[in-house]
């Protein structure tokens, strides 16, 4: 039975929901790294929890903007996978695993090709393993686009999309006002540091669309995406990038079971990310909660040791078919007795 989400009294604020998990992280489980060489000469790193065995389920975790295995939600999801006794792997976006990627290009909200490559590699080496995925924030938008663009060709059995900016233009605008600008400033500074490193790399300087002075002026996502993200990744401009990459356009085309979770008070979002019934495929289950912030969803504990709604919900949805099989097996065994 699906557990209902309700925040404790001390975590009703969307900013408490968003910031507290970042401060009080669970201990990171032991992982080992696999470097994956890409066809274009670049690389991405995969961080594995446990040794995958062919035939056993594999959970792919796709982090958000400037996230990685250290992200609070990735740590908790790895621990939950360990509890569920399934292999899990964090798919890092280019340049997010602690080492700069080799090319001038980076990653973006609509970049499904790297995820597609990871999934195809997993299916090649573990042909009998069912593949599941959960994507958070930017990673959730990528996952929604992958599911909708690949449709029946998706290599995933089931997927969960959490706090995804499904309408990129509206979300970029949202981050330009009020307290949300704090999050924008924090993330833009990280993106600027990465771009500055590339501008200072001799082999890449000439390929960069801006110089150091121009980079300092890009203090909003809209400006950064227009002057850096769009030209580096083959878009004609920021509006072209936002329109082609927004996950909202793909939800109605999804043909594999997919759960989408949003909080109405998410400080990164507006109501533009809430799909109408006409925008949802019958294979998409949509959950909109009044509270939860951005990738928060604290539902108990104490401020210094919060408990969360997401992990149980994600695992229960992803393994629903396995749970049904287990229940049927248990009933059959009982009837025999």
Residues marked as catalytic: 137, 266, 294
DSSP assignment of 268-302, as one string? T--GGGS--GGGS-TTEEEEEES--TTTT-EEEEE
Contact call for residues 33 and 97 (beta carbons, < 8 A)? yes
C-beta pairs of 176-183 under 8 Å, 24+ apart in sequence: 176/220, 176/222, 178/267, 179/15, 179/267, 180/267, 180/268, 183/18, 183/267, 183/268, 183/294
CA-based nearest residue to 291, from 4, 25, 1, 80? 4
Residues 17 and 20: their CA atoms lie apart, in Å, by: 6
Structure tokens that stand for 202 in this block: 């001799």
Q: Please name the residue that has the structure tokens 């709604």.
A: 309
Residues 101 and 121: their CA atoms lie apart, in Å, by: 20
Residues 317 and 164: their CA atoms lie apart, in Å, by: 18
Rounded (5°) CA angle 286-281-127? 95
Rounded (5°) CA angle 264-267-269? 65
Structure tokens that stand for 302 in this block: 């104490």
Taking each helix axis from N to C end, the angle separating 72-83 and 14-23, rounded to the nearest 10 degrees, works out to 70
- Kind of pairing between the strands at 131-136 and 43-49: unpaired
Q: Please name the residue that has the structure tokens 């970029």.
A: 172
């Amino acid at each position: 039975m699906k557990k209902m989400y309700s925040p404790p009294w001390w975590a009703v604020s969307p900013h408490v929901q968003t910031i507290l998990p970042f401060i009080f992280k669970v201990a990171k489980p032991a992982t080992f790294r696999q470097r994956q060489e890409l066809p274009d000469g670049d690389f991405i790193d995969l961080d594995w929890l446990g040794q995958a065995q062919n035939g056993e389920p594999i959970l792919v975790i796709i982090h958000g903007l400037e996230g990685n295995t250290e992200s609070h939600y990735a740590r908790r999801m790895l621990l939950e996978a360990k509890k569920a006794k399934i292999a899990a792997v964090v798919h890092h976006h280019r340049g997010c695993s602690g080492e700069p990627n080799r090319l001038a290009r980076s990653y973006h909200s609509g970049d499904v090709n790297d995820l597609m490559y990871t999934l195809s590699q997993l299916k090649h080496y573990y042909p009998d393993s069912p593949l599941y995925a959960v994507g958070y924030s930017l990673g959730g938008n990528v996952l929604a686009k992958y599911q909708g663009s690949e449709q029946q060709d998706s290599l995933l059995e089931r997927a969960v999309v959490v706090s995804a900016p499904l309408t990129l233009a509206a979300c970029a605008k949202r981050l330009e006002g009020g307290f949300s600008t704090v999050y924008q400033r924090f993330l833009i500074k990280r993106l600027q540091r990465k771009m500055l490193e590339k501008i200072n790399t001799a082999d890449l300087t000439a390929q960069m669309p801006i110089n150091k002075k121009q980079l300092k002026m890009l203090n909003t996502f809209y400006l950064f995406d227009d002057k850096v993200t769009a030209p580096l990744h083959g878009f004609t401009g920021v509006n072209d990038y936002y329109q082609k990459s927004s996950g909202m356009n793909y939800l109605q085309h999804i043909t594999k079971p997919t759960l989408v979770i949003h909080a109405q008070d998410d400080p990164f979002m507006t109501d533009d990310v809430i799909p109408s019934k006409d925008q949802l495929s019958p294979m998409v289950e949509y959950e909109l909660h009044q509270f939860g912030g951005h990738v928060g969803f604290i539902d108990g504990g104490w401020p210094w040791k919060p408990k969360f709604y997401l992990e149980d919900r994600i695992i229960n949805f992803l393994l629903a078919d396995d749970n049904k099989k287990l229940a049927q097996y248990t009933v059959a065994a009982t009837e025999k007795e």
